[in-house]
Amino acid sequence: MGRAPCCDKASVKKGPWSPEEDAKLKAYIEEHGTGGNWIALPQKIGLKRCGKSCRLRWLNYLRPNIKHGDFTEEEEHIICSLYISIGSRWSIIAAQLPGRTDNDIKNYWNTKLKKKLLGKRAPSRRARATTHQDPYQLSTAAAAGGNMCSTSSVSNNNAMATQALSASALERIQLHMRLQGLYGAFGGDSAAATPQQWPKLETLLTSKLQLPATEPVDAVATTVTVQQHNQHLVDHHSLAAGREAVEAEQLGSTGDGAYTMPCSFERPNKLVGFCSPSSAGATEAEVAASGLMVNGGYGGGSGGFGTHHDEIYDFLYKYGSVGAGAHGGHIPSLPELQCPDSAAAIVGADEKFSTWTADASCDYGQLQGNPIDGSLHDYALGGYDQ
DNA sequence: AAAGCGCACAACCGCACGATA
DNA sequence: TTATCGTGCGGTTGTGCGCTT
């Protein structure tokens, strides 16, 4: 038996909001607040709308201090960096961008940034509607992109393997590689002299290289946590603790190339499987079929993360392209996001989208000096084919 | 001028989670 | 312990606009 609907769909109005509806909702909330019950709110103010719809309208459009319109380069940097690291966790990304909503960022990513960065064109909605192809294959093929995957030689097995890696993961791999200028990393020094070339996807996916028995460290996943009572706030004390833990663990890594996850800081409260965003949305079968899981998952550490971990980082570690440790070291870990004043940030925090208010802008100076900084925009936003 | 198409954005939907009875 | 409810999230769809043919 399914869940009862949150409202009577037959009697609620759908579609665009009228100015009158906006005014009613805005006036009521500004005077009384939401009352902690969105479901009951529309009845109170005589709106024929679903409570969820009211909530969405308020959070994404009506509430004060919301920015609409063009994203700055800095915002693009942040979106890009975080997407690579944590995937489509739009609410978390939005928490780093004052005044931006998750919906806004999601739309911006899907309609502009992704094309900008990956230089690809999504199949049109009409094309998708008229094709009989599996949409998953379509999106995966799109994510695999131009010369990354030579479909002419892909066997059925490889096609299945292609399916196993999510489109999101492929996008992030592509993005990560592009941002790091990693075109030669798969072929040694000699490859650096050859024209830029993506690795053949089928080769990568059918490889049975064994992952190390321990986990990679996702720079963001292991350093960004979520406060108990406000999942949109970044806990900078935990960040610091996590950073120290990472450093300590890396210093203590064993000579055989294995190191363990830092366990000394709090597991994200809301984000079960945070270090495995792609697998969180995948079925167990998909994850297992990917062949990218570490044997037995993550078993070490009392403060550990989920059993599954991020397939993109598996992939990147597998091919020795991430991290400064024994696994390769081609790609530096992503920078941490810093806020200059965590106390002010918490005081000024906006419950929906902002770790800090416009008055307390975030200092992304932490990005300065990181190899990504400066080159990121050049790599990602410059010189792509329109 | 009209149809087709691509794009951007707002809104909806279903699911997962936490709180609570 | 279980069922129910409200909320939040991410993916998807609907719609309107502008450009092209």
Closest nucleotide to residue A281 (Cα to C1')?
A: C10
**CB proximity A188–strand C (7 Å threshold):** no
Kindly report, residue by residue over A126-147, the tens digit of the pLDDT: 444 444 433 333 333 333 333 3
Closest nucleotide over all strands to A101 (CA to C1'): C9
Statement: the CB of A51 is under 7 Å from strand C: yes
Q: Which of A54-63, A109-118, A271-280 has the highest mean pLDDT?
A: A54-63
Question: For A52, phi and psi rounded to 5 degrees?
Answer: -65, -40
What's the CA–C1' distance between A384 and B1, in Å?
37
What residues does A350 pair with on adjacent strands?
A354
| Closest residue, by C-alpha, to the C1' of B6 | A124
Whether the CB of A251 is less than 7 Å away from nucleic strand C comes out as: no
SS3 A252: coil
Query: How far: A359 CA to C11 C1' (Å)?
Result: 33
DSSP string, A209-223: PPPPSS----TTTTT
Domain boundaries of chain A, sorted by first residue: 19-62, 73-204, 226-356
Distance of C1' in C17 from CA in A82, Å: 32
pLDDT in tens, A5-49: 567 766 788 888 888 888 888 888 888 887 778 888 888 888 888
Confidence of residue A319 (pLDDT cuts 50, 70, 90): low
For the CA of A223 and the C1' of B18, the distance in angstroms is: 24
List the structure tokens of A311.
């397939």
Angstrom distances, CA of residue A133 to CA of A9, A139, A157, A190: 32, 10, 17, 39
Does nucleic acid strand C have an atom less than 7 angstroms from the CB of A243? Answer: no
Say what the pTM is. Answer: 0.55
Q: How far is the CA of A93 from the C1' of B15 (A)?
A: 21
Measured from the CB, is A231 under 7 Å from any atom of strand C? yes
